[in-house]
A and B are shown apart, each in its own frame.
Chain A
Amino acid sequence: MAQTRLMQDLERQGISRRDFLAFCASMATLLGLPKAAAGAIAKAIETDKRPILVWLEFQDCAGNTESFLRSGHPTVAELLLDTLSLNYHETLMVAAGDQAESALEDTVAKHKGEYVAIVEGAIPGDIDSGFCTIGGRSALDIAREVCGSAAATVAVGTCATFGGLPAAHPNPTRALSVADAVPGVKNLINMSACPANAENIAALIVYYLTIKRWPPLDQYRRPLFAYGESIHDGCERRAHFDSGQFVEAWGDEAHRHGYCLYQMGCKGPATSQNCPNVQWNGHTNWPIGCGHPCIGCAEPNFWDVMTPFYQRLPDVEGIDSSKWLDPVGLGLTGVVAAGAVAHGVGEVMRYRRGHRPPPDDGTRTSGKPREPDASDHEENPK
């Protein structure tokens, strides 16, 4: 078989075919495919057909780009980006200024309905104030044009998928997710998390190259292969949760034993992602693995609803619910019970004053049940 461009590139970078196949096998595993799928994946990646890709950055920190460039198999993943024809990427491209803008315009014009748009960062909805203006155009304008004519749009990172940090309260720029900024965008795939896991982005691209379709999605349009299970269900500390063994203070005996971080505000039970299995930085570790609770970064509005990060329940108007909800509930129950007793005393006094003499109840248990008669149905004579 003649060497494809990718294989030549890999060889030049000192990556053996064995390493390449290992990458394909790990992608197959991540996608939940059988081992034999690795061959199909290798074949799909090797072919020289290069889908066109533009990578837009709006209100972002380039964290997803950084994460992707430092993925577990960096060189293969980078070459995977190379496999896709990356026509525009502000952080990576050599071109600048008008040259860069014309690259984007050309792609949109020449490959309308064919290219894939990747969006990183939230899009300010307040266009009058000039937030995030690129080449004189508002981010909203660019997103609507570029995503609007794309074959598919992949929103990477929580800012692009759900608004993320820019959209957190009070959302000064009225930041929007891609779904909200570009209504009716075709084939939107959300890769949430802060940053999106590079392995998952690679797997999404591999899935598309191999199966020629986009993967099944959850209710937030996130691929089920990466977001189909909660962190809690896959957690290595789940046994400690099940046995009621919890860390109660940083650095306590339980913390040093690697017990469950539920009491320290771990948002694993509210978060769906494959972190426990895929982990980060090339399977080095992941937050819970090094003793830090999950902050729920893959979920919508996580800055607002997952905070405080070290408390189990969200705040209500700045009040710590985890600390106050039960005492307030218990107190309210006590106040209501006391009120009931006081009311009861009042009622007894009212009846003692002869408001209405209680009938003798000694008669209740004897006597045949009487059929309801007209007197039961009489209307109020008032």
Chain B
Amino acid sequence: MNAVPEDPLRINLHRVYVWELPVRLAHWLLFFSIVILAATGYYIGNPFFGGDLAMARVREVHLYTSIVFSICALARVYWAFAGNRYARWSDLIPVSRERLRSVWVSLKFYAFLGREPDEYVGHNGLAGLTYAVIFGVYFVMIATGLALYQVYAPVGSPLRAFGFLIPLFDGLQVARLIHHIGMWAIVVFAVVHVYFAVLSSTVEHVGIIDSILSGFKYMPRGRRRRVGP
């Protein structure tokens, strides 16, 4: 099984294919689109420079990027039903007792109250729940964005159908406010997300940062772990 069985270090780690290509692709496209959307969105809210068609071009970039973002978010939701067990909705939304327990154990561990981390090959309960919540924020952003956009959609555009969203948000101004708050929620999430990715790669040594590029995670042998329900 092992190419060099005499090397004890090599025996202690093994590779597991965790993140399938659609998951990684969605992750990175979401990353790049969020960077662009946040930067252009900030400008649209606070136009701090002017110039030849500055606002028009920034809005154009924002609108086209939002298409990429929306498709990726939708595709990732589809993959939560079609993908492997690490990508499934049940690994994100904690409904089983086991996953709810994992949320609690992870929360205690990261609050320095618990001694043992709750290890999963995929997401631990807390991470899964966080991603479920942030996807909720993504869809609020998509809904408020569509509500704000449909006013400008050309006559005959199917996007005009999203006018029904406006009363749900109590008007466009409230939708605009929610859209703006949502940006900051995503920025704060990004900070936490990057921190935990770095933490688990450098301190916990499970290779999370590598894994979102390669799809493979390195799991120490013999360590307690779960694969989820």
* A contact set with B: CB distance below 8 Å: 218-220, 228, 230, 232-233, 241-246, 262-263, 267, 269-270, 272, 296, 299-301, 305-306, 312-314, 316, 321, 325-326, 328-330, 332-333, 336-337, 340, 343-344, 346-348, 350-351, 355-356, 358-364, 366-370, 372, 375-382
Contact = CB atoms under 8 A, between A and B. Distances in A.
Interface residues of B, number: 70
Nearest to A260: B55
A359 B56 contact: no
A359 B13 contact: yes
Contact of B54 (A220, A232, A244, A321): A244
Interface in B171-229: 171-174, 176-177, 180-181, 183-184, 187-188, 191-192, 195, 198-199, 203-205, 207, 210, 216, 218-222, 224-227
Given A313-B180, A326-B45, A343 B110 contact: yes
B2 to A, nearest CB: 7
A332 B188 contact: yes
Given A299-B172, A363-B10, A363-B12, 11 more contacts: A244-B50, A332-B184, A356-B117, A361-B207, A363-B13, A367-B3, A370-B2, A370-B15, A375-B221, A376-B227, A378-B225
B46 interface: yes
B207 A364 contact: yes
Nearest to B195: A340
Interface in B28-69: 42, 45-47, 49-56
A333 B188 contact: yes
A381 B224 contact: yes
A363 B50 contact: no
Contacts of B205: 358-359, 361
A283 to B, nearest CB: 24
B14 A359 contact: no
Contact of A321 (B13, B177, B210, B218): B177
Contact of A246 (B50, B163, B227): B50
A294 to B, nearest CB: 12
A358 B110 CA distance: 17
Contacts of B155: 228
A243 B176 contact: no
B26 interface: no
A294 B85 CA distance: 53
B2 A301 contact: no
The dominant DSSP class at the B interface is mixed
A270 B171 CA distance: 8
Contacts of A246: 47, 50
Contacts of B152: 230, 232-233
Interface string B5-31: 001011011111100000000000000
Nearest to B210: A364
A366 B218 CA distance: 12
Contacts of A359: 9, 12-13, 205, 220
A262 B47 CA distance: 10
Contacts of A219: 163-164, 166-167
13 contacts: A219-B167, A233-B151, A300-B167, A312-B176, A325-B184, A326-B45, A326-B184, A329-B181, A356-B117, A358-B203, A359-B9, A361-B207, A370-B2
Contacts of B10: 363, 366-367
B9 A301 contact: no
Complex A-B, nearest 8 residue pairs according to Cβ-Cβ distance, in ascending order: A329-B184, A244-B50, A244-B54, A340-B195, A270-B172, A242-B56, A369-B15, A370-B14
A336 B188 contact: yes
Contact of A314 (B49, B174, B220, B221): B174
Contact of B181 (A228, A325, A333, A360): A325
Interface string B90-124: 00000000000000000000101001010001000
Contacts of B219: 376
A316 B176 contact: no
Nearest to B171: A305
Contacts of A358: 203-205
Contacts of B50: 243-246
A230 B173 contact: no
A343 B195 CA distance: 9
A333 B184 contact: yes
A380 B226 contact: yes
A367 B164 CA distance: 56
Given A243-B55, A343-B110, A362-B9, A367 B210 contact: no
Contact of B183 (A329, A367, A379): A329
A367 B2 contact: yes
Contact of A267 (B173, B187, B188): B173
Nearest to A372: B16
